[in-house]
Amino acid sequence: AQSVSQHNHHVILSEAASLELGCNYSYGGTVNLFWYVQYPGQHLQLLLKYFSGDPLVKGIKGFEAEFIKSKFSFNLRKPSVQWSDTAEYFCAVNPVGGQNFVFGPGTRLSVLP
């Protein structure tokens, strides 16, 4: 069965620090990849997605992610985090031709002012 792992359960950073959240998946075929964000008390929102083309994708709020096919990875990055980035981040994989997304367990990001 497909699975998605996220390297960190909880990440704590100071404002202006750089961020990288790891995501790896287990599926040998073609996949669509997503990062979703859940701010405190809010619903899940799409941060960015990769379907095909340039493996470096840019999303909202200065986030970007790089798809490395050989490593089955789709890590999320931001050069300088803000307090407002405090949230839970979920990586998701949808195998092309598959039925539904498989989500990772989530990484909680706390940014200290």
Partner 1 sequence: GAGVSQSPSNKVTEKGKDVELRCDPISGHTALYWYRQSLGQGLEFLIYFQGNSAPDKSGLPSDRFSAERTGGSVSTLTIQRTQQEDSAVYLCASSLRRESDYTFGSGTRLTVV
- Contacts with partner 1 by CB under 8 A lie at 32, 34, 36, 42-46, 49, 90, 94, 96, 98-106
Question: Cβ closer to partner 1: 2 or 17?
Answer: 2
Question: Cβ closer to partner 1: 28 or 97?
Answer: 97
φ/ψ of 84, rounded to 5, equals: -70, -5
Question: Cβ closer to partner 1: 23 or 81?
Answer: 23
Q: What six digits make up the tokens of 48? A: 């960015």
Minimum CB separation from partner 1 for residue 89, in Å? 11
The tally of CA atoms less than 13 A away on the side-chain side of residue 38 is 11
Question: What is the C-alpha to C-alpha distance for residues 87 and 25, in angstroms, rounded to an integer?
Answer: 22
Minimum CB separation from partner 1 for residue 57, in Å? 12
User: Position 37: which residue type?
Assistant: V
Question: Cβ closer to partner 1: 30 or 84?
Answer: 30
Owner of token pair 């985090």: 81
DSSP state of 59: -
